[in-house]
Structure 1
């Protein structure tokens, strides 16, 4: 007997609620496992390609693990110290640059910022307060980041979990597929495929775009001699997953630093502007259409909402899981909208009832049934005679 829809909805609701409760109660404990699963998911296509090239699954996973560990160590030793040093220097220099900008505007346009005026005093206080707050925020972030990096759980458990999940990824997916409810298995497979398409397209595609833009901005700004150029380029690239935000914030910061450092030398200021203009042209016309594409379906506003909501509910674990959860919720929302448009509530017309099962009628020649009945009586009389049983007609006469 088919399970009612209401009961199925209760079961699925209980499963989702249980997942959210587990994330809320065991956030920090399951963080290494979530990160390991994310790493395995991102590297699974690489392992599949190495398998198609002739390597065994074990050798492919070992090769990927060694390469990932070497890359991670190189980033920690070479990139992170430079980023931390330049970020600290930029934060400490920001109030001075802000004060120079205020003094320049007051000298050139006194009617905008009169000496001793309310706006000028407010901007001065804002600059001092901004410097203090940025210093506090940066110190907190650096302390948190240092504690997170130094945690043994993240440095040991994440690679181990990623290694074993990557090794058994295909078997794990096949096992999960066998556990799907048979009635809904085709729909669940289709939804999972759409989630994978959206998530992989955004994470892998946008990650490659960020890597290309970060390399370009950082190296180009360092070549023109811009102070803090490496940090500004990386910051602009990381924020580029939100359209125009990365180039606006990174470009404004870079141009502000260039005005402060290269004042009186417009060639280098123009070079900084040209670097961001070229990066924006390449990103908008080549990188985003070719790598990410327009079919991903993970809108930046939706992603920011997911990061804010899940981050406030589940902390850092929620922020890590926000991207896959946003992709899943987006696919489920589109699926629900499609079903809503097909429903009677939207169309105003009830769906026709299912037709009854067809009645099978066998057409036989006239007299077929009578002939079969006669043969059955004769066979019964023969069986009775062989068994020594008197015919029914003879019993009636004796009575």
Structure 2
């Protein structure tokens, strides 16, 4: 590649990054629609192989997605709403319990000074905010009334997602074929192989890791509710979402469940604590021995620190759009860096060592 072409590619990437930065407020529905199309394409392809037309296959897949969403709204949302309201009610009591029982015990065990904890200030702030209203619906209504245009924009984006997803899914194979037809003929094989590797990594994450998160959230939520934890569903779903980072879901969910169990059952009640330990132990065993090997495998290759950095950097640069883009972009960059590393090891820049492998290093 000549220097002029290198500068042309660099300018193109810089322009693309600037364009994404400028358009990120309106990109969210298109990115979510693209995600739906990417997730649904294998199902539509399978229906096509069974003799169904592409359009009817897309209609059936979207109908399936709609039924799953409707079931979640009818069953899960009311339960989650009740637990959120319960958390809203017990938050001041949990702070009282921390201030009067848990933290003094920890303070005595660790030998900390008497004014080390500042829970009274935190309690005053939270109680003040909670005391501003006793009606959550009234608060939400006031917020909606104050930002009606923002609500209309949010609803418009929400309605745009299925429309974008439907048309992208219907024309997915056609768009891929047209993009392949634009590739330079002498580089087509290499670029297709590179894109195939990126597709394998993205598929492993988007389909595999998301299913692992869903399964872990279900396991934790059902297990904690069977233990009798009032906030079991909320903590289980939180742990499932946090499982996007390896071991983060276990740490967050286990810590929150222990605190909730200690507060709800009073003191160190043995059986609820054992139940919490059993639930998260079973979840970890199933994740390590069954879910991750079966649904994800070893194809992602993203280090947990890289996952955390990608999510935080994406959110800082592009907001919610950046969070949606963070891990897919990080997975693609990981594949490209792997190939760049191979090219570097074969290049003249890397070269050969000036001394043999058995020669001692020079002390001059």
Please give the range of the TM-score, normalised by the shorter of the 2 chains: 0.7 to 0.9
- Structure 1 gap segments, 5+ residues each: 350-399
Residue number in structure 2 paired with 1:193? 196
Note if 1:271 corresponds to 2:275.
Answer: yes
Note if 1:339 corresponds to 2:335.
Answer: no
- Structure 2 gap segments, 5+ residues each: 354-364
Asked if structure 2 preserves the Cα contact closer than 8 Å seen for 1:32 and 1:153, the reply is: no
Note if 1:310 corresponds to 2:324.
Answer: no
Q: 1:55 to 1:109 in 2, by over 3 A?
A: closer
Give the TM-score of the pair, scaled to structure 1. Answer: 0.77
* DSSP-derived class of the 1:309 partner: helix
Residue number in structure 2 paired with 1:80? 77
Q: Following the alignment from structure 1 to structure 2, what is the Cα–Cα distance between the partners of residues 149 and 229?
A: 34
Q: 1:232 to 1:149 in 2, by over 3 A?
A: farther
Note if 1:296 corresponds to 2:293.
Answer: no
Asked if structure 1 preserves the Cα contact closer than 8 Å seen for 2:245 and 2:307, the reply is: no
Q: Following the alignment from structure 1 to structure 2, what is the Cα–Cα distance between the partners of residues 308 and 301?
A: 11
What is the total number of aligned residue pairs between the two structures? 341
* DSSP-derived class of the 1:297 partner: coil
User: Cα distance, 1:319 vs. partner?
Assistant: 1.4
Superposed, 1:332-371 pairs within 5 Å as 332-348=336-352
Superposed, 1:41-120 pairs within 5 Å as 41-90=38-87, 93-105=90-102, 111-112=108-109, 117-120=114-117
Superposed, 1:123-138 pairs within 5 Å as 123-126=119-122, 128-129=124-125
**Cα distance per residue 1:281-339 (max 9 Å; x no partner):** 11122211221112222333222222222221222211111122111111111111111
Query: Which 4+ stretches in 1 moved above 6 angstroms?
Result: 113-116, 130-136, 146-150
Q: Following the alignment from structure 2 to structure 1, what is the Cα–Cα distance between the partners of residues 88 and 305?
A: 28
> Which among 159, 163, 175 is matched to residue 156 of structure 1?
159
Q: 1:23 to 1:135 in 2, by over 3 A?
A: farther
Asked if structure 2 preserves the Cα contact closer than 8 Å seen for 1:148 and 1:154, the reply is: no
**Cα distance per residue 1:64-112 (max 9 Å; x no partner):** 1111122223323432343344235325534432431342246657744
With CA pairs under 8 Å and 6+ residues apart, which has the higher RCO, 1 or 2? 2
Q: 1:156 to 1:291 in 2, by over 3 A?
A: same
Q: Which has the larger radius of gyration?
A: 1
Note if 1:170 corresponds to 2:167.
Answer: no
